[in-house]
Amino acid sequence: MNIDANTKITGILGHPIHHSLSPLMHNTVFKHLGLNYVYLPFDVKPGDLKDSINAIRCMNIVGVNLTIPHKERVIAYLDRIDTEAELIGAVNTVKNIDSELVGFNTDGKGFLESLKNDLGFSPKGKRILMVGAGGAARGILVSLALGGAKKISVANRTYNRAEKFTGEFSDRFPSVNFSALPLENNALKNCLGDTDLVINTTSVGMNGDSLKLPLNYLPNSAIIYDIVYNPLKTPLLREAEEAGLTTHNGLGMLVFQGALSFKIWTDIDAPVKLMKETLAKRLFV
Ligand X SMILES: NC(=O)c1ccc[n+]([C@@H]2O[C@H](COP(=O)([O-])OP(=O)(O)OC[C@H]3O[C@@H](n4cnc5c(N)ncnc54)[C@H](OP(=O)(O)O)[C@@H]3O)[C@@H](O)[C@H]2O)c1
Contacts with ligand X: how many residues (CB under 6 A)?
24
120 dihedral zone (left: phi>0; alpha: psi -120 to 50; beta): left
Residue list 84-103, contact with ligand X (CB under 6 A): none
Residue 133 or residue 142: which is nearer to ligand X going by CB?
133
* Binding residue for ligand X, selected from 64, 128, 133, 218, defined by CB under 6 A: 133
CA distances from 72 to 66, 92, 139, 210 (A): 9, 9, 12, 29
- Which x/- pattern, by CB under 6 A, does the window 191-220 give for ligand X? ----------xxxx-x--------------
Residue 19 or residue 273: which is nearer to ligand X going by CB?
19
Closest CA relative to residue 68, chosen from 15, 132, 133: 15
Residue 54, interface with ligand X (CB under 6 A)? no
CB 251 within 8 A of CB 109: no
Residue 173 or residue 256: which is nearer to ligand X going by CB?
256
Instruction: Identify which range of 58-66, 80-88, 134-142, 276-284 contacts ligand X by CB under 6 A.
Output: 134-142
Kindly state the smallest distance separating residue 52's Cβ from ligand X, in Å. Answer: 20
Question: Which residue type, as a one-letter code, is found at position 144?
Answer: L
Alpha-carbon torsion, ordered 12, 156, 118, 242, to 10 deg: 130
Residue 25 or residue 96: which is nearer to ligand X going by CB?
25
Residue 114, interface with ligand X (CB under 6 A)? no
Residue 178, interface with ligand X (CB under 6 A)? no
Taken in order 139, 145, 148, 153, the sign of the CA dihedral is: positive
* Binding residue for ligand X, selected from 157, 164, 233, 263, defined by CB under 6 A: 157
Residue list 246-275, contact with ligand X (CB under 6 A): 250, 253-254, 257
Strand-pairing partners, residue 94, are: 64, 103
| Peptide linkage before 182 cis (omega within 30 of 0) | no
Which of 8, 45, 50, 71 is an active site residue? 71
In whole angstroms, what is the distance from residue 71 CA to residue 275 CA? 23
| Peptide linkage before 174 cis (omega within 30 of 0) | no
Residue 161, interface with ligand X (CB under 6 A)? yes
Instruction: Identify which range of 52-60, 82-90, 115-123, 227-235 contacts ligand X by CB under 6 A.
Output: 227-235
* Binding residue for ligand X, selected from 130, 197, 228, 270, defined by CB under 6 A: 228
Instruction: Identify which range of 17-25, 58-66, 222-230, 236-244 contacts ligand X by CB under 6 A.
Output: 222-230
Residue 132, interface with ligand X (CB under 6 A)? yes
Is residue 71 annotated as part of the catalytic site, yes or no?
Answer: yes
In whole angstroms, what is the distance from residue 152 CA to residue 89 CA? 19
- Within the chain, residue ranges assigned H as helices are 22-33, 49-58, 83-88, 107-119, 135-146, 159-172, 185-192, 235-242, 251-266, 272-282
Kindly state the smallest distance separating residue 248's Cβ from ligand X, in Å. Answer: 10
State the residues that interact with ligand X by CB under 6 A.
Answer: 107, 132-137, 156-158, 161, 183, 201-204, 206, 227-229, 250, 253-254, 257
Active centre residues (catalytic): 71
